[in-house]
Amino acid sequence: MSAASQFKEEAHEITRDLRHRQLIQTALGKYEIKRDEKKAAFQDWQAARQAAAETKWDAINHLDTYLQEFATKLEARGTKVHWASTAPQARDIILNIIREKKARTIVKSKAMTAEEIHLNDALEKSGFEVVESDLGEFIVQLRHEPPYHIVFPAMHLTRGDISELFARELGSAPTDSPEELTMIARRALRNKYVTADVGITGANFAIAETGMISITENEGNARLTAALPKTMISLLGIEKVLPKMEDLALFLPMLATAGAGQTITGYNSLYGGPRQPGESDGPDEFHVVLLDNRRTELLADAEQRDALHCIRCGACLNVCPIFRNVGGHTYGTTYSGPIGSVITPHLRGLQDWKHLSSASSLCGACTEACPVKIDLHHHLLHNRRNSATEKPNRLEKLGLKLFAFVVNHPAFYSLAKKMGRLMQPLHALVKGTRIDPAYGWTQSRDLPTMPRQSFKDWWRTRP
């Protein structure tokens, strides 16, 4: 089945699932209250957005310079920097490191880039045990599911679902306390950190000035992943760059506020290398894998280049009424929601993924929410235009041409209105049935009745 038909089919099912609707509305309702409170604490949220957008613009539009600076600084302090053009290359790089270390257990903290290259699959197929340490990721891993949301991976599950899952997979006693469930996961994972040979992380930012990666998290799992195993591997997209360390003073609170309604996330940690002389712990080896995977193609589209400014905060998903109704899994992509609909056609092919750009009312809530001011909903229009230019839908084009002809010729336009009025009684016979030509509308909604006199009729005949 094509990605488009699958999307439609799953959307059809899930939009009628009132339990899902309620769960997501409630969870995101809580988020909205906190976000508004934290946004209001900013002296000037809009100026902060503009500054963040400009800083990211600078980073992305000088990406070659900053990436080299980032890599050189890291290498100077003993980090091995790897460059991967494609997903298979990135997987091979990581597999080779792990094989060389003769590692058995791998502990991983949340990384959307790893989802993007299907790293867990590759590791497991090669016989390695990988444990997701972020609680939400741990839960969806046990369910053999991809994350539902880039920031809240297990948002679609209730405590009951999770209790059942833990009972089945971990043999724990059923409970409906989120606290107890969290402790079950904590106990299950503690030992893994201590014994794991390799730790894999993602990164939220790559600081060019100092050659450091910055990781944002609440749980401390990434910190443990970066502290205990002897080898640490961080996989990040090339767009993660920020020019200066001080830029974080703005980006850390904005990421937390927009994405989770926090002033700042629980732990924001910078890593500039493996254990340095005089330091007592930390990995002996630190590998940074820089992933392109068609980001340079998006970069080449100057009109949509700002999509690379994305800091993966998830705000656009949270406010998107499409996301809130179809949920994260329906997209069938690594990145869901508005940003996913914008970039997936670039990362995985326009013709296969253009339906995501059509599946939008273009309400613009995403653009308004985005802390780095990506012109998200207009890029959906750009994707629609690009795909229609590249591969026109003949029927739609014909329809629009006919429409253009009618509205451009007052006589025909009047005639069309008359015909519409005449057809109404006939339409009533098939209304809402599958043979109704307006079924797309009438399956769930009534059409207004056309009044006898249109506005223009009135205008023409008024005294």
Amino acid at 126: S
Residue among 110, 194, 90 at smallest CA distance from 152: 110
Task: Specify whether the CB–CB gap between 171 and 343 falls below 8 A.
Answer: no
**Residue 447 binding result from another protein, ligand SF4, none, given CB thresholds of 5 to 8 Å by partner type:** another protein
Amino acid at 284: D
Residues 265, 257: Cα–Cα separation, whole Å: 9
One of 36, 47, 124, 129 touching another protein (CB under 8 A): 47
What is the footprint of ligand SF4 within residues 366-405 (CB under 6 A)?
Answer: 369-372, 374, 376
What is the footprint of another protein within residues 324-343 (CB under 8 A)?
Answer: 324-326
Residues 134, 108: Cα–Cα separation, whole Å: 8
**Residue 205 binding result from another protein, ligand SF4, none, given CB thresholds of 5 to 8 Å by partner type:** none
Max CA-CA distance within the chain? Answer: 94
One of 88, 174, 178, 349 touching another protein (CB under 8 A): 178
Which stretch in 97-105, 120-128, 154-162, 335-343 sits in contact with another protein by CB under 8 A? 154-162
Under rule CB under 8 A, how many of the chain's residues touch another protein? 175
Which stretch in 115-123, 124-132, 197-205, 390-398 sits in contact with another protein by CB under 8 A? 390-398
| Residue position matching structure tokens 């802390």 | 371
What is the footprint of another protein within residues 49-78 (CB under 8 A)?
Answer: 49-51, 53-58, 60-64, 67-68, 71, 77
**Residue 371 binding result from ligand SF4, another protein, none, given CB thresholds of 5 to 8 Å by partner type:** ligand SF4
One of 116, 119, 136, 255 touching another protein (CB under 8 A): 136
Q: How far is the CB of 309 from ligand SF4 (least distance, A)?
A: 7
Q: How far is the CB of 294 from ligand SF4 (least distance, A)?
A: 17
Interstrand relation of 205-207 and 198-201 (parallel, antiparallel or unpaired) = unpaired
Residue 343 sits in the site that holds ligand SF4 (CB under 6 A): no
What is the footprint of another protein within residues 192-221 (CB under 8 A)?
Answer: 193-194, 210, 212, 218-221
Residue 5 sits in the site that holds another protein (CB under 8 A): no
Q: How far is the CB of 103 from another protein (least distance, A)?
A: 17
Residue among 89, 6, 76 at smallest CA distance from 289: 89
Residue 389 sits in the site that holds another protein (CB under 8 A): yes
Task: Specify whether the CB–CB gap between 49 and 371 falls below 8 A.
Answer: yes
One of 146, 273, 338, 340 touching another protein (CB under 8 A): 273
Considering beta carbons, is residue 232 or 315 the nearer one to ligand SF4?
Answer: 315
Reported residue count of the chain is 463
One of 1, 171, 395, 408 touching another protein (CB under 8 A): 408
∠ Cα 97 147 111 (to 5°) = 35
What is the footprint of another protein within residues 421-450 (CB under 8 A)?
Answer: 438, 440-441, 443-448, 450
Task: Specify whether the CB–CB gap between 82 and 106 falls below 8 A.
Answer: no
Interstrand relation of 105-108 and 231-237 (parallel, antiparallel or unpaired) = unpaired
The runs of H, that is alpha helices, within 267-375 are 295-300, 315-319, 321-326, 337-348, 350-353, 355-358, 365-369
Residue 335, SS3 per DSSP: coil
Considering beta carbons, is residue 112 or 450 the nearer one to another protein?
Answer: 450
Residues 443, 448: Cα–Cα separation, whole Å: 14
Considering beta carbons, is residue 128 or 323 the nearer one to another protein?
Answer: 323
- Residue span 201-230 as binding mask against ligand SF4, x where in contact by CB under 6 A, dash where not: ------------------------------
- Residue span 308-337 as binding mask against ligand SF4, x where in contact by CB under 6 A, dash where not: --xxxxxxx---------------------
Residues 144, 230: Cα–Cα separation, whole Å: 28
Considering beta carbons, is residue 253 or 283 the nearer one to ligand SF4?
Answer: 253
One of 143, 378, 427, 436 touching another protein (CB under 8 A): 378
One of 403, 415, 419, 422 touching another protein (CB under 8 A): 403
Residue 463, SS3 per DSSP: coil
What is the footprint of another protein within residues 294-323 (CB under 8 A)?
Answer: 296-297, 299-300, 302-303, 305-306, 309, 321-322
What is the footprint of another protein within residues 90-129 (CB under 8 A)?
Answer: none
Task: Specify whether the CB–CB gap between 112 and 334 falls below 8 A.
Answer: yes
Q: From start to end of 136-294, where are the E strands?
A: 198-201, 205-207, 212-217, 231-237, 241-242, 267-271, 285-291
Residues 314, 149: Cα–Cα separation, whole Å: 8
Residues 320, 47: Cα–Cα separation, whole Å: 23
Residues 447, 93: Cα–Cα separation, whole Å: 58
Residues that bind ligand SF4 (CB under 6 A): 310-316, 339, 369-372, 374, 376
